[in-house]
Amino acid sequence: MGRANDEAAAALQEYAELFALNGGDAFRVRSYQKAAKSIAGFPGDLGETDVRSIPGVGEAIAKKVEEFLARGSFRQLDDLRARVPEGVRRLTRIPSLGPKKALFLFQELGIDSPAALAEAIRAGRLGGVRGFGARTEENLLKGIEHMERSGDRVHLGIATDLAERVVGSLPAERIAVAGSLRRMRETIGDIDVLAVGDPGLMDLFARQPYVTEVIAKGERKTSVRTDRGLQVDLRLVPAESWGAAMVYFTGSKEHNVRIREMAVRKGWKLSEYGLFDGERLIASETEEEIYQALGMEWVPPALREDGGEVEAALRGGLPRLVELGDLRGDLHTHTDLTDGIASLEDMVAAAAARGYSYYAVTDHAPDLVMQRMTLDKALAQRARIADLQAKYPDMRLLHGSELNIAPDGSVDWPAEVLAGFDVCVASVHSHFTQSREEMTRRFVAACENPHVHVIGHPTTRKIGKRPPVDADWDAVFRAAARTGTIMEIDSYPDRADLPSDLVRLARHHGVTFSIDSDSHAIPHLAHQRFGVGIAQRAWLTPDDVVNTWPLDRLLARLGGDHATP
């Protein structure tokens, strides 16, 4: 995916937000949002395409995009940016606070940031204001606290994009990412890059177009701020201590403390330069040599959190972690029948190109009203899938749906309709603030529904935007294990849902998982690599993940007769 696509899409999305915030016509807001999605999901490079050929992009939007490509912004965006303070825009990012209310708070009460809103609520200044009851105030406060806690960390998708740009821009003898990004943490504080090469690399790095500020520049380490807000540290390391530097800067700090203790116990010293016995170098060139000298197996980066991996590596008992290459399919994807932007035919062709043995199409179900799904549309899609199947003898197409779990735990459509689908993913898309008891009952009921195979993006969190729902996860996972309900690892990087700590908990209860892309466009199919990171951090093996299984085993698990297509 070309970077220009993402940036133009982000600008249009921002414009849509600002336009809505200024009371702009809802229809036009939606058309900007739709165009933004289309552009983000467009597989070709924007710079080499006539923008007008992208679905959803008319003349007016095309002009804005062209101006953006030429100079990094467009006039209407500049105008609105000038009119709305940044803090007011951040107000709209508080979960449950829409643009109308945000503008009202700013114009009537002078509240111009999330912090100012929190203060106003705590001081009781919103008491009696229409539309701001006690329950609303409480939810707003929770949302603001969540935003503050996630702070400046970004999700893995943003960090990975930027890291690939950095690595690709520097002609080093050797270069690799370390830190939390190599460990595939779901959020990243800053990016750590190690390189072997000549000192001129530092100057070259500081001059890159993605650099907005040079924070510190030395011979061994340069730190910059980038256009994504994220800091990148580049360290030059001697070729002969590459392995030691990778171990040290990959971390985590907790893991490093443990293995340094192991070295000390042997009377040795472990640093970023190597493993030493006094002056004598024991190992430094590769990570494998260092772990081996310490009497351990090499530890995959995703496990380096002092979560039992040191003990396991010492007794040679590390798991065979699931890898991207183990996945044989995807069980949660959308098309333009609902909110995806690519056609069924294009999504299926892209899936086949990835070499899948099976692929499920799971467009939204009717209770998500704005998607305008109907049974007729679903059945027509099923017929198209049956036709399409003939073209793909090596990939089984599964017709599914992403159902909505209602507040009482029920889902869309009667049982006889549900029975006609090969796979049903059921997700929470509304009523996020139910009490812990209600939410737990809701999930348990969904697990107990014999037609529900998979619980989609279970916590519903969106990193930096929406906190996870509150549920007794032990109880939910017990129900999932008992009923054979699969828990999803939604790989979409701003969801990363389930998060790895809950995956690990679920696994203890005997739950199985599917690593899904939740794609709404062709490039999203590749997001599964982020889901694999989550699974690895939770110690999952291929056997724990149903979409590594051969088709027959998967179908047996999904039950039903699978007459379609």
Per CB under 6 A, 274 contacts ligand DGT: no
> Interface with Ca ion includes 531 (CB under 5 A)?
no
Cβ distance to ligand DGT smaller for residue 257 or 379? 257
Give the nearer residue to Zn ion in terms of CB position, either 340 or 542. Answer: 340
Residue 366: asked if its preceding bond is cis (omega within 30°), the reply is no
**Two tokens, residue 178:** 């370390």
Is the backbone peptide bond immediately before 18 cis, with ω within 30 degrees of 0? no
Q: Which residue is nearest to ligand DGT (CB)?
A: 251
By the rule CB under 5 A, 427 interacts with Zn ion: yes
Does 256 contact ligand DGT by CB under 6 A? yes
Report DSSP letters for 87-131, one per residue.
Answer: HHHHHTTSTT--HHHHHHHHHHH---SHHHHHHHHHTTTTTT-TT
Among 180, 362, 401, 548, binds ligand DGT (CB under 6 A): 180
| Residue nearer to ligand DGT on the CB measure, 190 or 363 | 190
What 3 state SS string does 463-474 have? Answer: CCCECCCCCCHH
Comparing CB distances to ligand DGT, the nearer of 73 and 252 is 252
**Phi/psi of residue 345, nearest 5 degrees:** -60, -45
Q: Which is nearer to ligand DGT, 186 or 488 (CB)?
A: 186
**Which of 548, 534, 547, 529 has the alpha carbon at shortest distance from 506?**
534
Residues 188-207 that bind ligand DGT (CB under 6 A): 188-190, 192
Collapsing DSSP states into helix, strand and coil, what is residue 548?
helix
Q: Which of 113, 68, 93 is nearest to 17 (CA)?
A: 93
| Segment contacting Zn ion by CB under 5 A, of 32-40, 294-302, 369-377, 420-428 | 420-428
Of 17, 112, 186, 192, the residue at the interface with Ca ion (CB under 5 A) is: 192
Q: Are 524 and 518 in contact (CB under 8 A)?
A: yes
Q: In DSSP terms, which residues pair with 490 in a beta bridge?
A: 497, 516
Task: Give the whole-angstrom CA distance, residue 2 versus residue 409.
Answer: 41
**Piece of 160-168, 178-186, 344-352, 515-523 that binds ligand DGT (CB under 6 A):** 178-186
Residue partners of 231: CB distance under 8 A and separation at least 6: 190, 191, 215, 223, 224, 225
Q: Which stretch binds ligand DGT (CB under 6 A): 251-259, 414-422, 423-431, 436-444?
A: 251-259
DSSP state of 256: H
Give the DSSP H or E segment for 236.
strand 231-236
Binding span for Zn ion by CB under 5 A among 70-78, 253-261, 384-392, 423-431: 423-431
Tell me: does residue 542 bind Ca ion (CB under 5 A): no
Cβ proximity of 300 and 310 under 8 Å: no
Q: Which is nearer to Zn ion, 536 or 547 (CB)?
A: 547
**Strand arrangement of the beta sheet that strand 269-271 belongs to:** 269-271, 274-277, 280-283
Show the binding pattern over residues 154-183: x = contacts Ca ion (CB under 5 A), - = does not.
-------------------------xx---
Contact at 8 Å (CB) between 89 and 112?
no
Q: Is 519 a residue that touches Zn ion (CB under 5 A)?
A: no
The reply to whether 494 sits near Ca ion by the rule CB under 5 A is no
Q: What single letter denotes the amino acid at residue 79?
A: D
In what helix (H) or strand (E) does residue 402 lie, and over which residues does it extend? Answer: strand 396-404
Nearer to Ca ion, 56 or 189 (CB): 189
Name which of ligand DGT, Zn ion, Ca ion, none residue 485 binds, using a CB cut-off of 5 to 8 Å depending on partner kind: none
The token pair at 126 is: 């919103």
What amino acid is encoded at 21 in this protein? L
CB 347 within 8 Å of CB 336: no
Q: Say whether residue 290 binds ligand DGT (CB under 6 A).
A: no
Q: How far is the CB of 332 from Zn ion (least distance, A)?
A: 8
Residue 92 near which of ligand DGT, Zn ion, Ca ion, none (CB within 5-8 Å, type-dependent): none
427 binds, among ligand DGT, Zn ion, Ca ion, none (CB under 5 to 8 A by kind): Zn ion
CB-wise, 97 or 496, nearer to Ca ion? 496
Residues 6+ away with beta carbon under 8 Å from 157:
493, 494, 527, 530
CA distances, 515 to each of 324, 495, 509 (Å): 10, 13, 18
C-beta of 429: minimal distance to Zn ion in Å?
A: 6
Tell which positions 230-249 bind Ca ion, by CB under 5 A: 233
**At its nearest, how many Å lie between Zn ion and the CB of residue 374?**
18
By CB under 5 A, residue 409 contacts Ca ion = no
359 binds, among Ca ion, ligand DGT, Zn ion, none (CB under 5 to 8 A by kind): none
Strands of the sheet containing 486-490, edge to edge, are: 329-330, 358-364, 396-404, 423-427, 454-455, 486-490, 513-516
390 neighbors 348 (Cβ within 8 angstroms): no
Q: Which stretch binds ligand DGT (CB under 6 A): 238-246, 253-261, 336-344, 510-518?
A: 253-261
Name the amino acid, one letter, at 226. T
256 binds, among ligand DGT, Zn ion, Ca ion, none (CB under 5 to 8 A by kind): ligand DGT
- Judged by CB under 6 A, does residue 251 bind ligand DGT? yes
Judged by CB under 5 A, the number of residues near Ca ion is: 5
CB of 323 to ligand DGT, least distance (A): 22
Q: Give the nearer residue to ligand DGT in terms of CB position, either 182 or 399.
A: 182
CA 27 to chain centre: 28
Q: Which of 13, 76, 252, 389 binds ligand DGT (CB under 6 A)?
A: 252
Q: Which is nearer to ligand DGT, 247 or 498 (CB)?
A: 247
* CB-nearer residue toward ligand DGT: 254 or 408: 254
- 3-21 vs 59-71: helix axis angle to the nearest 10? 120
Element of type H or E holding 228 = none
Instruction: Using CB under 6 A, list all residues that contact ligand DGT.
Output: 179-180, 185, 188-190, 192, 248-249, 251-253, 256-257
Residues at the contact surface with Ca ion, assessed by CB under 5 A: 179-180, 190, 192, 233
Site for Zn ion, rule CB under 5 A: 427
